[in-house]
Structure formats: structure tokens, C-alpha cells
Chain A
Amino acid sequence: DTAVSQTPKYLVTQMGNDKSIKCEQNLGHDTMYWYKQDSKKFLKIMFSYNNKELIINETVPNRFSPKSPDKAHLNLHINSLELGDSAVYFCASSSILGLAGTDTQYFGPGTRLTVL
């Protein structure tokens, strides 16, 4: 009964490869997010989708492309991986329940990406 799940939990790959991270939530939420946690543990927003529509797109290289097939899923595809992409990537979800501000974000377990 995992609320927000991510696969894989660990991903080790070579520079130049293309990889995807999948995220699914079973909370019935309508908004999903991707955050990146760097080696110093700093967390920063990358993308946000509401009902499959992109609503936040931070200054992220266009090698990163989120895809939301439905409101329960938000996948992250990364092309031409670079050493600097090594990080932990977190998916999160929340629900906009009419009143702005009621949407606490719940996080997945994170995916540790290592680029060699």
C-alpha cells in the first residue's frame, strides 16, 4: 500500500546513456513533482504537473523530459547522461483541494542515480 513509489531505487549507468525513472502515486492526488537532491543534500524543484499539464519547469537542461501519461504517474526521462546528473531524484505528489495551500506534498523513496 505504498503511497508514492519510484522505480528503480538505484540506477548506475555510463555517461551518454538514456535512462528513465518512473513514479506512481495511489493517493488520488492531482499534482506531481520531481525534485533533485545533490551531493550536499540540497533539494530543488525540477518539474511539476497538475492533471497531466506542466505547471512548473525550472531551469533544467532539456535533456530532462518529464512525461505524465495520467495524473497518477509522472516519469522522468534523461537523455545523454552526464557526470553532474548523479544525484537522488525524488518524486512527490499533492492534492489541490479547492482551497490553495491545503496540498501537503508526500514524497517517494527516491532514486539514487550514479553516472560513471
Chain B
Amino acid sequence: AQTVTQSQPEMSVQEAETVTLSCTYDTSESDYYLFWYKQPPSRQMILVIRQEAYKQQNATENRFSVNFQKAAKSFSLKISDSQLGDAAMYFCAYRSAETSGSRLTFGEGTQLTVNP
């Protein structure tokens, strides 16, 4: 079974600075997808970014980018120019690409605080 670990329960960053959230995972599969979801206080789960394991190029979405290290099974999220609205719980998630419609396996989450 796959597992996802987020070793940082809490992180803080100053507004306009850069922060990196860590995620590691364990799997025996070669083809899979990785995601970062954001959950603000409204509790809505919002997709931030996704990465296909077969792609070597790191995914980027505006101020959000990932550092995907397949051999190390590491998938960190970098938030540049942090904004107050980035404050939220961030979840890393894994999904197998070998089975359509398969589940998301989530990490424990990292609570990000943005200080003005």
C-alpha cells in the first residue's frame, strides 16, 4: 500500500517570501500522479498543482512549483511571493495511474501561516 508523509505539521512564512513544504511517499508502482491540495479555513479542498510521475519536468502554476525527485520519492511544493491568502492547510496526495478512478492517498497535512 502507498503511504504519504508530510513531516512538517506547521510552517510559517513572511508575506512576499518563499516557503517550501515537504512531502515524501512510498510506492512500488512506476506510474502515478502526485497532487498538492490547499484547504483554507473555509474547508474547501482546492487543487493547487499536479505532477505526472512519467514527466521529468517539474510542474509549475504561477507562484506554485514543485520539486519532484522520483528516485528519492520526494515531492515538495514551493510557494513564491507568499500572500496572505496562501494561509491554509496543504495536503500532499498520491494516486495510482495503474487503475482508473483510484483513490487519493493523503499526507497528514502542513498548516501554513503567512505573517504580514
Contacts and interface: CB of A to CB of B under 8 A. Distances in A.
Interface of A: 31, 33, 35, 40-45, 48, 50, 55-56, 88, 90, 92, 94, 96, 100-101, 103-107, 109-110, 112
The secondary structure that dominates the A interface is: strand
A33 B101 CA distance: 9
Nearest to A50: B101
A105 B105 CA distance: 12
Interface of B: 31-33, 35, 37, 39, 42-47, 50, 52, 89, 91, 95, 97-106, 108-109
Given A41-B39, A104-B50, 9 more contacts: A40-B108, A41-B109, A42-B108, A43-B104, A48-B101, A50-B100, A100-B99, A104-B47, A107-B45
B90 to A, nearest CB: 11
A90 B101 contact: no
Given A41-B89, A90-B45, A107-B45, A101 B31 contact: yes
A22 to B, nearest CB: 17
Contacts of B89: 41
B52 to A, nearest CB: 7
Contacts of B108: 40-42
Given A43-B91, A44-B106, A104 B35 contact: yes
Specify which of A40, A96, A103 lies most central, judged by the most chain B CB atoms within 10 Å of its CB: A103
B101 A31 contact: yes
Nearest to B42: A109
Given A33-B103, A45-B103, A96-B101, A107 B44 contact: yes
Contacts of B104: 35, 43, 45, 92, 105
A109 B101 contact: no
A88 B109 CA distance: 15
Nearest to B37: A107
Contacts of A88: 43
28 contacts: A33-B103, A41-B39, A42-B109, A43-B104, A44-B106, A45-B105, A48-B101, A48-B103, A50-B100, A50-B101, A56-B101, A56-B103, A88-B43, A92-B45, A94-B101, A96-B101, A100-B100, A101-B32, A101-B33, A101-B97, A101-B100, A103-B100, A105-B95, A107-B44, A109-B43, A109-B44, A110-B43, A110-B44
